[in-house]
Amino acid sequence: MTRNTGSFIQNRKFILSTLALAFLLMSSGIFAQDGPPKFDPIGQFSVAFSTALPKGEFENNLDNNGFGINVNGSANLGKSPFALGLELAYLQYGSETRNVPFSLTIPDVTVDVTTSNNIVQAFALLRAQNPHGVLRPYVDGLVGFNYLYTETKIEDEDNIDDDDVVASSKNFDDFAFSYGFGGGVMVKLYEAAPSLGEDGHYDRPASILLDLRVRYLLGGEAEYLRRGDIERVNGEVIISPVQSKTDLLTFNIGISVAF
């Protein structure tokens, strides 16, 4: 058995175990709470920090992980446990910065030249979740795409503000179809007490939750650049992209608001 095959089997077992646990929790009432009228959330919005581990062929070509941010929003489908939504993520899987003269004729003025390798992800999201309790487990299905691109920026070396970007250029980009699944749990941190309105009905409370989740995302074939794949020889730029599938295992921690 190769290292990649063994790694895939271990990851699959881990994800399947997570999903099985989430389903068991959703099917039980052990985390449900008694109290005043319970309102099923009509939607959620989450912001999370994301760590992405390349898998399979992608792992063979990259020597570092990706880090970034993930946001998603969803709307519940009536009183069912299901919700539909959209998810966006930005990941950076490598960068390098060079300090170089501004030009051949002005060698005494230097600037920072930063080349970054990035992935933007966009997904349609289907979620099944227990809407009540201190712990709210869920499972997700996703379908969308990966957009991989490498960009170079010239920046004022004395200021890291994005407004001081002197120039920028996209060196290379490509798209790949992606789909996947995952699971997680939200831990209630705060929930406003239902308040009785003048009409005699309770207002819907909002909840703030800690959001912990893991995803296995299968990505199609794409061409992309890594650190060192852009060479500068005698004033010319030589780009040497590599190609592979773009599978990722992602871990996310963030804050969600249910309303």
97 neighbors 65 (Cβ within 8 angstroms): no
Q: How far apart are CA 132 and CA 99, in angstroms?
A: 54
Q: What is the pLDDT, as a whole number, of residue 30?
A: 44
Q: 156-214 pLDDT, tens per residue?
A: 766 655 557 888 999 999 999 999 999 999 999 999 887 777 776 777 789 999 999 99
Q: What's the mean pLDDT when you consider all of the chain?
A: 87
Q: What is the pLDDT of residues 51-105, one digit of tens each?
A: 999 999 999 999 999 999 999 999 999 989 999 999 999 999 999 998 988 887 8
Domain membership of residue 155 as a residue range:
3-258
DSSP characters over 72-109 = EEEEE-TTSSEEEEEEEEEEEEEEEEEEEEEETTEEEE
Mean pLDDT over 221-238 rounds to: 92
| Cα–Cα distance measured from residue 163 to residue 258, given in angstroms and rounded to the nearest whole number | 35
| C-alpha closest to that of 136 among 33, 247, 244, 242 | 33
List the one residue out of 51, 129, 121 whose CA is nearest residue 84: 129
Residue with tokens 């309102």: 39
How confident is the model over 131-145, as pLDDT tens digits? 999 999 999 999 999
Count other C-beta atoms under 10 Å from residue 114's C-beta. 16
Give the whole-number percent of the chain exceeding pLDDT 70. 82
Mean pLDDT over 25-37 rounds to 50
Report the domain count for the chain.
1
pTM: 0.82
For residue 242, pLDDT over 90 is answered with: yes
Instruction: Say which CATH number the domain at 119 has.
Output: 2.40.160.20
